[in-house]
Structure 1
């Protein structure tokens, strides 16, 4: 028996067990009155000898007390409870991560650079969203869907780990990145639709106005969380490539992020704007978004009860029958 799953349904009946010692005392005190008393002036001619039946007669009271105890425990309804559960996600969230992959994402104000820092945090974020579908949109001077919305997290994490700059023309087309993400979600049937838009610059290319894309997201009830990534002040930016070695050359440059635009997009869509100036900030931002956007999970529990009172009832009946037979057969003529 698994005692962890054992319970009494009507445990208040167990208080009746205090009657057992009281009954035992009562039987003991009344035992002397059960036998016949023979008055004699002198007992010198009798040999003291207690018969076996006299010694066993208290067994009748023990059997009755055990029967009463078994009945009381049966009334308390002892049982084993086997619990099984099934988790169901009814209201999943569809999330599109719109990632800026322009050359400035190689800036080294985050370690080892902005893009590599993002990969670590984004993969961790995906791992914590087992019940949601996630898609990836990349943008620089233009945009495209790298991964449609999918529940296959291994694909999403693989795509994130392989992100690199140079896949798109130069520039930062925030409007096109947001527009592509909105397009991915416009036909979604999920109860909640979310875009996480990350950039490290200002909108300087593309043919879609970011504010127009934000208004479209609002009409489609898509929430946009915007993240500006980059330190305050100067940072090492790539500005040329060495033709002999193929390595990038870096120089100090002022960090420019259009925070007013990112704040506007977040406000228009009931989202939030965050600023990540270092690796820890970036991790905390994704942690916060993970807390804000929670999938509603239903847990169904199934209970299987194994009632244990029946054997106790049969035991009590058996003890009472045994007590009756002994009293009316073996001890019937006993004085």
Structure 2
């Protein structure tokens, strides 16, 4: 799509024509020198001179048209993805307890650990969030910030890929991880602040109740979406060794006006990621924006070429006239 940045400059196009019609003609001066017929015939304009005049007239017209068009600022409107900041901050808070090494997920027909499945979906989720600030908090016995809130999604993806079990123990301090994520996300002034909390166990290394952290998040306008990961939970199999505490995770989400998810396999994990994109609209899905690409340089180059050709034409005509005069 082509457009003009300053179309009013096109009003200058008829200016040479108007000047020629409206300005008084230049008064011709009487010749004071009488020449013999032979010299006068040599001084009269020839057909070559007439052709040169027509050529120069065309060059002057091209030069003027190109200059006016360049001043009008032609531009091409290109549709590009809207990569502007969305005003949303999301902190992924991932459980790094020992139970994340249990191999009960099927990834493309290969038995894989819970950690590998979470990494795959989390990386995919982060890659699509252009325009959001994303951070990463990992927790086990203690919590730490693996990636601060940033627009550098590639750095967050690398932090997810490098996450490993055992760096801060093998227990599950959900409240500590949630508290650290809340501290980070409330430090800024984003219009929308979200925590995505994933755990596959019970809060067995806490110093405060995770529900209290959720209530504090609600007072600060922070939504917490929780993901209960694993085949067993305390509600259906309370005696299971690695059962996830779905009730606590659900209570955290409800207290902060978030959404709670129950994930037992890879399909549930993908569906959860898709639903999060719906709840927290993906900036990558925003309509493209039209960005102007200036094109004035092309008519400017045409004008430059016409000016050079006009100068060369006049120089050539002057040279031919001198040679004709010497021959006469």
Which TM-score applies when normalising by structure 2?
Answer: 0.59
The 3 A distance-change label for structure 1 pair 206 and 83 is same
Is the CA contact (8 Å cut-off) linking 1:171 and 1:205 kept in structure 2?
Answer: yes
Residue by residue over 1:150-182, the C-alpha shift from the partner in whole angstroms, topping out at 9 and shown as x without a partner, is: 111111111101111101123111111100100
The 3 A distance-change label for structure 1 pair 134 and 90 is closer
Residue by residue over 1:70-115, the C-alpha shift from the partner in whole angstroms, topping out at 9 and shown as x without a partner, is: xxxxxxxxxx994345636353311100000000011111140100
Q: Is 2:88 the counterpart of 1:93? A: yes
| Rounded Cα–Cα distance in structure 2 between residues aligned with 1:233 and 1:93 | 32
Residue by residue over 1:206-252, the C-alpha shift from the partner in whole angstroms, topping out at 9 and shown as x without a partner, is: 21210111011111111110000001389xxxxxxxxxxxxxxxxxx
The 3 A distance-change label for structure 1 pair 124 and 299 is closer
The 3 A distance-change label for structure 1 pair 96 and 233 is closer
Shift of 1:5: 6.5
| Rounded Cα–Cα distance in structure 2 between residues aligned with 1:127 and 1:162 | 16
Q: Is 2:251 the counterpart of 1:257? A: no
Q: Which secondary structure state, in structure 1, belongs to the residue aligned with residue 148 of structure 2?
A: strand
Matching residue within 245, 253, 262 for 1:266: 253
Residue by residue over 1:35-84, the C-alpha shift from the partner in whole angstroms, topping out at 9 and shown as x without a partner, is: xxxxxxxxxxxxxxxxxxxxxxxxxxxxxxxxxxxxxxxxxxxxx99434
| Rounded Cα–Cα distance in structure 1 between residues aligned with 2:113 and 2:291 | 50
Structure with larger Rg:
1
Is the CA contact (8 Å cut-off) linking 2:137 and 2:144 kept in structure 1?
Answer: yes
Is the CA contact (8 Å cut-off) linking 1:196 and 1:224 kept in structure 2?
Answer: yes
| Rounded Cα–Cα distance in structure 2 between residues aligned with 1:96 and 1:303 | 35
More strand by share: 1
Is the CA contact (8 Å cut-off) linking 2:136 and 2:145 kept in structure 1?
Answer: yes
- Give the aligned partner of residue 140 of structure 1: 140
- Give the aligned partner of residue 206 of structure 2: 206
Shift of 1:258: 1.1
Is the CA contact (8 Å cut-off) linking 1:107 and 1:114 kept in structure 2?
Answer: yes
| Rounded Cα–Cα distance in structure 1 between residues aligned with 2:143 and 2:198 | 13
| Rounded Cα–Cα distance in structure 2 between residues aligned with 1:223 and 1:141 | 24
Q: Which secondary structure state, in structure 1, belongs to the residue aligned with residue 84 of structure 2?
A: strand
- Give the aligned partner of residue 224 of structure 2: 224
- Give the aligned partner of residue 333 of structure 1: none
- Give the aligned partner of residue 130 of structure 2: 130
Shift of 1:117: 0.6
Shift of 1:268: 1.0
Matching residue within 277, 283, 299 for 1:290: 277
Shift of 1:283: 1.4
Is the CA contact (8 Å cut-off) linking 1:102 and 1:165 kept in structure 2?
Answer: yes
Q: Is 2:178 the counterpart of 1:181? A: no
Which runs of 5 or more residues in structure 2 are unaligned?
4-73, 106-110, 235-239, 296-328
| Rounded Cα–Cα distance in structure 2 between residues aligned with 1:153 and 1:88 | 12
Say how many residue pairs are matched.
213
- Give the aligned partner of residue 102 of structure 2: 107
Matching residue within 260, 266, 272 for 1:279: 266
Which TM-score applies when normalising by structure 1?
Answer: 0.58
Shift of 1:190: 1.4
- Give the aligned partner of residue 190 of structure 2: 190
Q: Which secondary structure state, in structure 2, belongs to the residue aligned with residue 213 of structure 1?
A: helix
Which runs of 5 or more residues in structure 1 are unaligned?
7-79, 235-252, 307-335
